[in-house]
Amino acid sequence: MDLYEHQARELFKDHGIPVPDAAVVDHPREARHAAELLGGRVVVKAQVKTGGRGKAGGVRLAADPAAAELATRQMLGMDIKGHTVRRVMLARPVDIDAEFYVSYVLDRAAGRFLAIASSEGGMDIEEVAATRPEAVVRIPVDPAEGVPHAKAAEIAAAAGLPAEAAGTLRGLWQVLVREDALLVEVNPLVRTTDGELLALDGKVTLDDNARFRRSRWGDKHGDPVTDPAADPLEEAAAAKGLTYVKLDGQVGVIGNGAGLVMSTLDVVAGCGARPANFLDIGGGASAQVMADGLDVVLADTDVRSVLVNVFGGITACDAVAEGIVQALDSVRLTKPLVVRLDGNNAAQGRAILDARAHPLVEQVTTMDGAARRAAELATT
């Protein structure tokens, strides 16, 4: 689960990483009051779970409380890369002498973490990493060893960070471990003209598998908290136990296995249409799972066709087909459904769908052909 910037900065504060004073609001009048309390001049930052806010107009400097109110009014409701701004954070501005980048990320293939750091942080860190990779250091971290002072000093020295950044690196490691995070990132970590190190922006991704022991993910009573900025379709899918991500296209995509679904998204895009979602039903495709998946995808008003792409393995294609048939009895299909079955018992599965003969369901035997047909249905 990705956190918003204001949530990440609260974790940073809890673990001794300095951050500027700030307040979160969801109404322009609240922004004026918050700016007054913060000293008048503030930075107004849209709270969305995506990067590139600054270049999209989601980060602005307001000279006084009236300007902060106006900037907030203009930002609320703004679309930034498909994310609607429903809250903004107002932060006290600082005078910056230098910007740095620091993060820890899980390296699943190697079974360890990577410390990634650079003396050139800021909005263009991706360009720096692409054009001058030598400016970004990547240092393995043994989870058993962690990041004691010596390791933090090693990372800071290798990246050309100030020596005092070792304290920030140790604090970030504590956030990663104690909060069950998969990624922690500060960009930029700044040195002010007064010589103070501050985390100006942060990103934290928490491990959903550890949710059962993270009481802070709910309210003070431990009850789940509804995120007013969360996508309702993603929330509905999560409630059904589905792995779903809302995208901005017209072709709904359902598949079994994250790799297959990702490949399907690419093929759909290559056929001239945009995927409307990522939906992985996993290794099993029972009638209930298929019904839940179709229900979520069809609830997206942007969807004009649905592509089900399944490769039968442990779960055979005939079982998948039976699930689709039963799902069609419980879900009102209103958009054309293209199905591609391959692998274990594919022929039997296709026969089951042929026998059902639903007027809005058609089968295509290849992945490319199915994606092309779904794209045609969505764009004509």
- Residues 44-97: pLDDT tens digits? 999 998 888 888 999 999 999 999 999 999 999 999 988 899 999 999 999 999
> Would you state the pLDDT for residue 290?
82
Angle between helix 149-159 and helix 165-178 axes, rounded to 10 deg:
120
> Would you state the pLDDT for residue 221?
30
List the one residue out of 97, 90, 89, 58 whose CA is nearest residue 189: 97
> Would you state the pLDDT for residue 215?
53
Which of 188-192, 227-231, 246-250, 369-373 is predicted with the least confidence, judged by mean pLDDT?
227-231
- What confidence tier does 283 reach under pLDDT thresholds 50, 70, 90? low
Q: How many Å from the N-terminal Cα to the C-terminal Cα in the chain?
A: 36
List the one residue out of 119, 107, 92, 82 whose CA is nearest residue 20: 92
- Domains, the chain, ordered by start: 21-91 (3.30.1490.20), 96-212 (3.30.470.20), 232-379 (3.40.50.261)
Non-local CB neighbours of 144 within 8 Å, separated by 6+ positions: none
Non-local CB neighbours of 109 within 8 Å, separated by 6+ positions: none
Q: Residue 204 and residue 216: Cα distance in Å, rounded?
A: 14
CB 99 within 8 A of CB 59: no
> What is the DSSP secondary-structure string of 216-243?
GGB-TTS-B---TTS-HHHHHHHHTT-E
Tokens representing 281?
């039903």
SS (H, E, C) 87-137: CEEEECCCCEEEEEEEEEEEECCCCEEEEEEECCCCCCHHHHHHHCHHHEE
Non-local CB neighbours of 347 within 8 Å, separated by 6+ positions: none
Q: For the chain, how many residues are written?
A: 380
Determine what percent of the chain falls in helix, strand and coil, rounding each to the nearest 5.
Answer: 40, 25, 35
What value does the mean pLDDT of the chain take?
90
> Would you state the pLDDT for residue 83?
87
Looking at the chain, the whole-number percentage of residues with pLDDT higher than 70 is 94
Does the active-site annotation cover 10? no
> Would you state the pLDDT for residue 284?
61
pLDDT at 5 over 90: yes
Mean pLDDT over residues 117-132, rounded? 83
Q: Residue 252 and residue 263: Cα distance in Å, rounded?
A: 14
- What confidence tier does 2 reach under pLDDT thresholds 50, 70, 90? confident
Mean pLDDT over residues 266-285, rounded? 89
From the list 5, 99, 120, 185, the catalytic residue is 185
> Would you state the pLDDT for residue 285?
60
- pLDDT, tens digit (0-9, with 9 covering 90-100), for 93-123: 999 999 999 999 998 878 889 999 999 888 7
pLDDT at 277 over 90: yes
- pLDDT, tens digit (0-9, with 9 covering 90-100), for 158-196: 999 999 999 999 999 999 999 999 999 999 999 999 999
Mean pLDDT over residues 12-30, rounded? 95
- What confidence tier does 380 reach under pLDDT thresholds 50, 70, 90? confident
From the list 101, 179, 244, 322, the catalytic residue is 101
Residue 61 backbone phi and psi in degrees, to 5: -95, 125
214 vs 154 pLDDT, higher one:
154
> What is the DSSP secondary-structure string of 294-333?
HHHHHT-TT--EEEEEEEESSS-HHHHHHHHHHHHHHS--
- pLDDT, tens digit (0-9, with 9 covering 90-100), for 304-347: 999 999 998 877 898 889 888 988 888 888 899 999 999 999 99
> Would you state the pLDDT for residue 188?
92
Mean pLDDT over residues 119-133, rounded? 82
Does the active-site annotation cover 101? yes
